[in-house]
Amino acid sequence: MTAYVPPAGSTDLKAFWRSILSLASGRSNATGTVTLTVSATSTTVTDQNCAVGTVPILVPTTADAAAALSTTYIPAATILNGSFVITHANNSQADRTFLYAFQG
């Protein structure tokens, strides 16, 4: 679930309280979904919340994604401002789908 973010320039204290409450409840806007590229050895994910120093965490959502975990990783050098690269095995499975969240 996403976190509430008050509009820019807001002076409404209730809006800021709502924002803090959503963060304290574990909500985050630093999440997404990615499906590994078919017949390739890497997949680039573009996300404005990614930055150098963040840690993308992958969670498989399909059986094929779970089976791919042992050959799927994110090289630290590919975590950049605005994107990261997932390295994985080359195969024809089109349903290797993961949720991701950023930590840090």
Residues 16-73 have pLDDT tens digits of: 878 788 777 777 778 999 999 999 999 999 999 999 999 999 999 999 999 999 999 9
Render the chain in DSSP notation, one character per residue: -PPP-PPTT---HHHHHHHHHHHHTT--S-EEEEEPPTT-SEEEEE-TT--TT-EEEEEE-SHHHHHHGGG-B--GGG-BTTEEEEE------S--EEEEEEE-
Q: Is residue 5 part of a domain?
A: no
Q: Would residue 3 count as lying in a domain? A: no
**What pLDDT is stored for residue 15 in this prediction?**
80
- Does 9 map to a domain? no
Residue 6 lies in a domain: no
Residue 19 included in any domain? no
Please tell me the pTM assigned to this model.
0.82
Look at residue 37 and tell me if it is in a domain. Answer: yes
Residue 82's domain comprises 30-103
Q: Is 77 inside any structural domain?
A: yes
With cut-offs at 50, 70 and 90, classify the pLDDT of residue 1: low
Domain count, the chain: 1
